Structure 1
Amino acid sequence: MSGWKLGVLGGSGLYELPGLTGARWETIESPWGAPSDAVLTGELEGVAVVFLPRHGRGHRLLPGEINTRANIDVLKRAGCTDILSISAVGSLREDLPPGAFAVAAQYVDRTRQRPASFFGGGVPAHVSLADPVCPRLSGLAARALRDGGIEAFEDATYLAMEGPQFSTRAESRLYRSWGCDVIGMTAMPEARLAREAELPYANVCMVTDYDCWRESEAPVGIEEVLAVMRRNVDLARQMLRRLLASLPAVREPSPIDTCLDTAILGDPKSAGPETLRRLEAILARRLNPNVIPAEGSRSEP
């Protein structure tokens, strides 16, 4: 496939990506700190793939402990052109039962303690998040689900909560009244940072529970989540294969590829050396066209 290199962020339960040709784990260092794990690189269905387990192999990290800036920076340094995020969520809709899938289109961000931007320190930028996901990649993901016989709720609104605790019943009812469809703990600030990195982003959501708004049922517990999640992970891997096989032979440019052209105020080259060092991958196209730094990377046996 010409031009595609898909970054895959694996959520709860998705810590490995079997079937990659030429698979190897590679550690890529980031000036933003330690990412969740090394990245697994290789090819699947003839497409270059870079897989990063969001919580680390073995699920070591709580949602609030994930260094999302480092994760997105590492995928940018690895040369990814697009990002597919796969995440476990709770359902805020009766017609989205555990085991269902949804493709997010909008977000309500209720996270409070997570760095949400690469910019500042002399380089101000304001990207548009009116449409926070890539319609092209989201559409391909939805079609890949349908082609596998999986009904996918498209255009879902995702409520991103801080966690790590699950919702109170009052919160769950409130989020339903806002028109939110699913609730999770990881898609924000992930989608924000992907946009700042000029990486088209899509979010496939695996429904594991009904949160706690259904008062006739016991509130969500981790055992229930894990049981449904194990069934969903195999379906998610199958969806990914179909998605990769369906990619157009040539990747046409996306407006997201150059969204910083209308977002940065002033000349970033006038910022201090430390700021530029941290932004070297995010601003590679602006600072040194056609070059994305890959310093600090090494392969693992």
Structure 2
Amino acid sequence: MKGKNAEFGVIGGSGVYSLFDNPEELDINTEYGKPSDKVSLGTINGRSVAFIPRHGKDHTIPPHKINYRANIAALDSLGVKRLISITAVGSLRMDFVPGDFALPTQFINMTSGRADTFYDGPQVTHVSTAFPYCPEMHKMAVRVSDYDDIKYHENATIIAINGPRFSTMAESKMFKNMGADIINMTQYPEVTLARERAMCYSTIAVVTDYDAGIEEDQHIQPVSFEDVGKRFASSIEKVKKMVTDLINEIPKERSCTCATALDNAVVKK
């Protein structure tokens, strides 16, 4: 959008509907349609930040209906180079306890039917996602978690499912056996679309539940959305403080390879 710019983007999930007091709200339309809601523009520690509530301000958009391309395109139009994702996740392991934070470095995609690329042709582009999360931002998130005294898991693998239903016990067991630590409905294709726009992408995941329960302990009950909402609400101030401290910590110049994600990715005619 002409004359409006942001250094950082933040996309908030369940329970995160605002980051600023009295933000400037931008009604942005992209070639992929409108984002989940108006984009809030403000500052954190003197640095410009654009915020989008992933499910809309009134939480009316289910995970499989989110216009992920429009959200990323809207932030890209504002010049965003670094994107922080805030999300609630379920645990697939006993040691990832509700209330813990997790910092993913890998994902497994189990979604289907989602528009998950900006490159539908005729320009063919194959972007590497071997290491989909920004290593520089991840390193800073670990540092901030340490001095914010947050219990966190540093190198988590997140599996993305379609939703809006939660997993069966058999699925949950399978996902764990596949190597996933946490589960979520919105991480994909958000992470790969950000990469296709050469953005740095990092996720702050709040563990809110034990997915379908844990087979080893029958006393642990399957997740309900009420559980997710309550646990996330109890962590919201920690999340906001971590976002604030992370933005303050990240250097102005990028030293990672995210900016060159499209180099050698385009199929030349």
TM-score (norm 1): 0.84
> In the alignment, which residue of structure 2 is the partner of 1:229?
232
- Alpha-carbon distance in 2 for matches of 1:196, 1:127: 7
1:241 deviates by 1.0
Look up the SS of the partner of 2:72 in the other structure. helix
| Residue 245 (structure 2) pairs with residue 242 (structure 1) | yes
- Alpha-carbon distance in 2 for matches of 1:4, 1:133: 20
| Residue 75 (structure 2) pairs with residue 72 (structure 1) | no
The answer (yes or no) to whether the contact 2:210–2:221 under 8 Å persists in 1 is no
> In the alignment, which residue of structure 2 is the partner of 1:163?
163
1:19 deviates by 4.8
The answer (yes or no) to whether the contact 1:90–1:182 under 8 Å persists in 2 is yes
> In the alignment, which residue of structure 1 is the partner of 2:51?
51
1:142 deviates by 2.2
> In the alignment, which residue of structure 2 is the partner of 1:112?
112
Q: Deviations over 1:62-109 (max 9, x none)?
A: 000100001000010011011110100001111111111000100010
State, as a whole percentage, how many aligned pairs show the same letter.
38
Look up the SS of the partner of 1:28 in the other structure. coil
What amino acid sits opposite 2:258 in the alignment? Answer: I
1:211 deviates by 0.7
> In the alignment, which residue of structure 1 is the partner of 2:14?
12
- Alpha-carbon distance in 2 for matches of 1:35, 1:88: 20
Look up the SS of the partner of 1:142 in the other structure. helix
> In the alignment, which residue of structure 2 is the partner of 1:124?
124
Q: Deviations over 1:146-205 (max 9, x none)?
A: 211102101100010011000000000111111211000000011111111111101110
1:61 deviates by 0.5
The answer (yes or no) to whether the contact 2:162–2:185 under 8 Å persists in 1 is yes
> In the alignment, which residue of structure 1 is the partner of 2:24?
24
1:213 deviates by 3.4
1:253 deviates by 4.5
- Equivalences for 1:1-301 in 2 at 5 Å? 5-19=7-21, 23-214=23-214, 215-248=218-251, 250-266=252-268
Look up the SS of the partner of 2:93 in the other structure. coil
The answer (yes or no) to whether the contact 1:6–1:48 under 8 Å persists in 2 is yes
Look up the SS of the partner of 1:241 in the other structure. helix
1:258 deviates by 2.4
Q: Which ranges of structure 1 fall in alignment gaps of 5 or more residues?
A: 268-301
Q: Deviations over 1:212-238 (max 9, x none)?
A: 132332211111111101011111001
Q: Deviations over 1:31-74 (max 9, x none)?
A: 00121011111111111111111111011110001000010000
The answer (yes or no) to whether the contact 1:4–1:251 under 8 Å persists in 2 is no
- Alpha-carbon distance in 2 for matches of 1:31, 1:163: 26
The answer (yes or no) to whether the contact 1:137–1:201 under 8 Å persists in 2 is yes
What amino acid sits opposite 2:207 in the alignment? Answer: V
The answer (yes or no) to whether the contact 1:92–1:172 under 8 Å persists in 2 is yes
1:4 deviates by 7.8
Q: Which has the larger radius of gyration?
A: 1
- Alpha-carbon distance in 1 for matches of 2:21, 2:209: 29
- Alpha-carbon distance in 1 for matches of 2:145, 2:60: 29
What amino acid sits opposite 2:179 in the alignment? Answer: G
The answer (yes or no) to whether the contact 2:144–2:245 under 8 Å persists in 1 is yes
Look up the SS of the partner of 2:97 in the other structure. coil
What amino acid sits opposite 2:8 in the alignment? Answer: L
What amino acid sits opposite 1:221 in the alignment? Answer: S
The answer (yes or no) to whether the contact 1:209–1:225 under 8 Å persists in 2 is yes
The answer (yes or no) to whether the contact 2:64–2:163 under 8 Å persists in 1 is yes
Aligned positions, number? 262
* Superposition misfits of 4+ residues, deviation over 4 angstroms: none
- Alpha-carbon distance in 1 for matches of 2:79, 2:27: 14
